[in-house]
Chain A
Amino acid sequence: MNVIIIDYDAGNVRSLQFALNKLGVNSILSNDPEKISSADKVIFPGQGQASSAMIKLKKKGLDKVIPNLKQPLLGICLGMQLLCLKTKEGNTQGLGIIKINVEKFPDTVKVPQMGWNTVNHLSRNLFKGIKQDAYMYLVHSFYVPLIDETSAHSFYSLNYSVAIEKNNFYGVQFHPEKSSNDGLLLLENFLKI
């Protein structure tokens, strides 16, 4: 299977590659629009700051390529947030695939949310075999509100989307590559889509 991880200097992708290795997949890091378009599966990782991430994507024309992909794509963390219209982080325009704005957690809770939180999901696709209220590892200051495309939610001062899906576009706010066995299962489910 040809799995491409979109390369835009997005922090720790090493662990993601190791996790995919465990599932028998040798992923390739690339920012080449052609390679990305012809992949079987695309992973859009994330860590870092939204506006600088968008600048890097635009430089390679990837802001035009990603919304037109037809194969399954998994956005992780910032990768999921950038699938949305706009994010409060640096007032950045996202890719607009999911029509919602990304908000910042209120300061009634510690920001970033850092650690393991329970995930309540609709048992579809990505979450097959993962029990309700499984713990996943999260690190984020911004969140996607609940929407029609929400496929899982978590609670941190409010209920928010911890996973979304629309057609071939999937997004998870947590880091599956850092979420022990359940995280690995989620990646495996994604590869099977």
Chain B
Amino acid sequence: MIAKRIIPCLDIKDGRTVKGINFINLIDAGDPVELAKRYTIEGADELVFLDISATEQKRKTLSDLVLRVAEALDIPFTVGGGVSSLKDAKILLKNGADKVSINSAAVKNPNLINEMSNAFGNQCVVVAIDAKKINNKWIVHLVGGKEKTNISLFDWASEVELRGAGEILFTSMDNDGTKNGFANSALHKLSKIVNIPVIASGGAGNLKHFYEAFEIGKADAALAASVFHYDEIRIKELKEHLQKKNIPVRL
């Protein structure tokens, strides 16, 4: 049986992880490769690296980092953040990334999804969607949530599937950072209307939240950052919990 995936997300700036991280026994806690290795050992199923730097040097730094991660990691990983062209994606994939995630660029130029899917196969195209509930409607936001659009989350999700996305990473801006749980009803609806895997993101605070994202939200994978970085939740403990509740996980 296919397992539900647990995915830690690392925010990267200028080749280093950001957000204070208090892991012990790490030679260099800011080094994404060190962190990635630690998560792999703990049982992460996949990793997401999100580049949030905005410097000129960015592309080169990121592609060098991807190469180092690929060398150190023997589980799949996705790279995202500022990918806006086929060329950007190609460099990352050539260097060993398994999937590339696109967000704002996909909304501004939806054809990029088709181009990437045709060039590399849909399995490596992740479309990340940030959305927020406004007047009871889930609305897509861009540029890390700063820019509102008029697009409905569900319409956009269907469109990206049609255009060749292999997976959707849905972040609820309403839930993100609250630690009150994932946006399960929106997740459930998403999972019903698209036939590609959906990754839940935003709101993880405790073990039960992950269970609910899978059981109620019908998510295929759940992503979180701070609860893992700050050791509030250990991946192994989380997976044991899920297994006890009959959620299939890789232990």
Binding site for B on A (CB under 8 A): 11-12, 14-15, 18-19, 47-49, 107, 110-118, 135, 137-141, 155-156, 175, 177-181, 183-184
Q: A75 to nearest B CB, angstroms? A: 16
Q: Does B50 contact A (CB under 8 A)?
A: no
Give the B interface residue count (CB, 8 A).
35
Question: Do B94 and A115 have beta carbons less than 8 Å apart?
Answer: no
Question: Do B74 and A107 have beta carbons less than 8 Å apart?
Answer: no
Task: Encode contact with A along B213-230: 1 for CB under 8 Å, 0 otherwise.
Answer: 000000011000000000
Q: Measured between alpha carbons, how far is A43 from B93 in the docked complex, in Å?
A: 19
Tell me which residues across on chain A come within 8 A of B98, comparing CB atoms: 12, 15, 139, 178
Residue of A nearest to B97 (CB): A12
Number of A-B contacts defined by CB within 8 Å: 95
Q: Does B58 contact A (CB under 8 A)?
A: no
What would 30 A/B residue contacts be, using CB atoms closer than 8 Å? Answer: A11-B120, A14-B67, A14-B96, A15-B70, A18-B70, A18-B96, A47-B120, A47-B121, A47-B124, A48-B120, A110-B195, A110-B220, A111-B196, A112-B123, A112-B196, A114-B166, A115-B221, A116-B5, A117-B1, A135-B3, A139-B123, A140-B123, A156-B2, A178-B76, A179-B75, A180-B40, A180-B74, A181-B74, A183-B74, A184-B74
Tell me which residues across on chain A come within 8 A of B166, comparing CB atoms: 112, 114, 139
Q: Which residues from 171 to 214 on chain B have a C-beta closer than 8 Å to any C-beta of chain A?
A: 195-197
Which residue, A107, A116, A177, has most C-beta atoms of chain B within 10 A? A116
Question: Do A179 and B93 have beta carbons less than 8 Å apart?
Answer: no
Tell me which residues across on chain B come within 8 A of A14, comparing CB atoms: 67, 70, 94-96
Q: Does B51 contact A (CB under 8 A)?
A: no
